[in-house]
């Protein structure tokens, strides 16, 4: 009896040991202890390792992009850089008119120009020289005294913050200063009153539900989600668990569990939107007169990148929130009754909002997401 009880105990301990060892191995395998390390994150550390025109590309690739698609390609000469859309890296029905793709290119263009000045090159930008060919910008470079800036210095610290923000309001002067960074033709609208913020939050949650209920949009969004650590290191793109805004413990559990399917992911997406990401002291809208113009979208991208860099330099956190626009585009694509298209109209007058975000004071740290190297995106 004694013997078999001991054997049972040994067996049970052995099983627990195996589970612990297995979980430990999975934790190591899934990068629980090596988050933000490895080749996929090297571009954040090495971004100042090159010189001249090439250095501009290494700064550009650290910019924001929709779902971290990084839809860019560069042709580099000492006196000129051409920026092209990589049309294959699109979000499908999540971005049927490539609005977000073009805004993403504008984000890269802004980092590129900030880096040019730091490298002693004055950038002269021609927007959308050949939209049909996906030629987004030509940047001619001429020598000038090198000068860095607070925005340039913030490039490696700018990360989309999907965690909770505190209730502390953002000072009105700060909002005015951020709005003043807008490119010509881009209107910045702040939603800070309780009623406006509630409207934005409720409608964004409703738009999230509509995206999840739309099988094609849900699948196109899920395609860019990278759960597996090997996929993160191989593809070096997409939205990762590490960038989800979850605390360390929740993150470790999520990583150890098997990769979540589309339905489970959608559940997290909705819960995160409802419980965390629609709570902020300020929401912002970036609006243009012609929402279809590539030049206008690039200007919005430049403006967003600039606002986010300035916000980070001031100790603030920010996150784009574009579900309303994603649904508005989808309504136009399918000829659906305009449920979400009119929601932001009262705030933008004769302009149309093509990008939205939240802003506040962080309660934790935002972390980097993977990047393909500069060398990989030069034609």
Ligand X SMILES: Cc1cc2nc3c(=O)[nH]c(=O)nc-3n(C[C@H](O)[C@H](O)[C@H](O)COP(=O)(O)O)c2cc1C
Q: Which residues bind ligand X (CB under 6 A)?
A: 64-68, 100, 103-104, 107, 159-160, 162, 239, 243, 319-322, 369
Cβ neighbours of 108 (radius 10 Å): 30
Tell the smallest beta-carbon distance from residue 376 to ligand X (Å): 16
Residue nearest to ligand X (CB): 64
Q: In three state form, how does the secondary structure of the chain look? A: CHHHHHHHHHHHHHHHHHHHHHHHHHHHHCCCCCCCCCHHHHHHHCCCCCCCHHHHHHHHCCCCCHHHCCCEEEEEECCEEEEEECCCCCCHHHCCCCHHHHHHHHHHHHHHHHHHHHCCEEEEEEEEEEHHHCEEEEEEEEECCCCCCHHHHHHHHCCCCCCCECCCCCCHHHHHHHHCCCCCCCEEEEECCHHHHHHHHHHHHHHHHHHHHCHHHHHHHHCCEECCHHHHHHHCCCEEHHHCCCCHHHHHHHHHCCCCCHHHHHHHHHHHHHHHHCCCCEEEEEEECCCCCHHHHHHHHHHHHHHHHHHHHCCCEEEECCHHHHHHHHHHHHCCCCCCCCCCHHHHCCCEEEEEEEEECECCCCCCCCCCCCHHHEC
d(Cα 136, Cα 285) in Å, to the nearest integer?
A: 23
Query: Which strands form 317-320's sheet, in the order they lie side by side?
Result: 187-191, 282-288, 352-360, 317-320
CB of 65 to ligand X, least distance (A): 5
**Least distance (Å) from ligand X to the CB of residue 215?**
19
Alpha-carbon torsion angle 10, 14, 15, 21, nearest 10: 160
Nearer to ligand X, 121 or 309 (CB): 309
C-beta closer to ligand X: residue 102 or 121 = 102
Q: Report the nearest approach of ligand X to the CB of residue 241 (Å).
A: 12
Nearest CB to ligand X, comparing residues 121 and 369: 369
Q: Compute the chain's Rg from CA coordinates.
A: 22
**Least distance to ligand X, CB of residue 308, Å:** 8
Q: Toward ligand X, which CB reaches closer, 67 or 302? A: 67
């Amino acid at each position: 009896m004694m013997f078999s009880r001991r054997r049972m105990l040994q067996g049970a301990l052995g099983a627990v040991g195996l589970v612990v060892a297995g979980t430990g191995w999975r934790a190591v395998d899934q990068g629980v202890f090596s988050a933000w390390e490895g080749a996929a994150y090297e571009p954040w550390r090495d971004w100042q390792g090159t010189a001249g025109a090439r250095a501009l590309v290494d700064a550009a690739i650290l910019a924001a992009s929709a779902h971290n698609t990084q839809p860019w390609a560069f042709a580099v000469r000492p006196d000129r850089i051409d920026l092209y859309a990589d049309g294959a890296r699109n979000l499908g029905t999540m971005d049927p008119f490539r609005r977000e793709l073009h805004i993403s290119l504008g984000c890269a263009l802004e980092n590129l120009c900030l880096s040019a000045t730091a490298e002693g090159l004055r950038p002269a930008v021609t927007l959308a020289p050949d939209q049909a060919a996906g030629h987004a910008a030509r940047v001619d470079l001429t020598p000038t005294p090198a000068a860095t800036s607070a925005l340039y210095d913030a490039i490696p610290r700018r990360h989309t913050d999907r965690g909770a923000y505190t209730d502390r309001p953002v000072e009105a002067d700060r909002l005015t200063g951020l709005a003043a960074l807008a490119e010509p033709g881009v209107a910045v609208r702040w939603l800070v009153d309780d009623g406006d913020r509630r409207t934005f939050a409720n409608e964004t949650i409703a738009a999230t539900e509509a995206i999840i209920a739309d099988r094609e949009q849900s699948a196109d969004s899920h395609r860019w989600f990278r759960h597996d650590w090997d996929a993160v290191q191989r593809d070096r793109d997409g939205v990762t668990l590490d960038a989800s805004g979850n605390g360390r413990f929740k993150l470790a559990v999520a990583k150890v569990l098997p990769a979540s399917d589309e339905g489970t992911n959608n559940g997290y997406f909705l819960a995160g939107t409802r419980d965390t990401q629609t709570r902020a002291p300020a929401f912002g809208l970036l609006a243009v007169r012609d929402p279809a113009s590539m030049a206008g979208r690039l200007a919005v991208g430049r403006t967003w990148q600039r606002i986010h860099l300035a916000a980070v330099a001031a100790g603030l956190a920010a996150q784009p929130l574009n579900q309303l626009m994603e649904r508005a585009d989808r309504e136009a694509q399918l000829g659906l009754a305009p449920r979400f298209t009119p929601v932001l109209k009262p705030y933008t007058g004769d302009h149309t909002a093509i990008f939205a975000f939240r802003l506040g004071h962080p309660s934790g740290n935002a972390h980097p997401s993977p990047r393909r190297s500069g060398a990989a995106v030069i034609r």
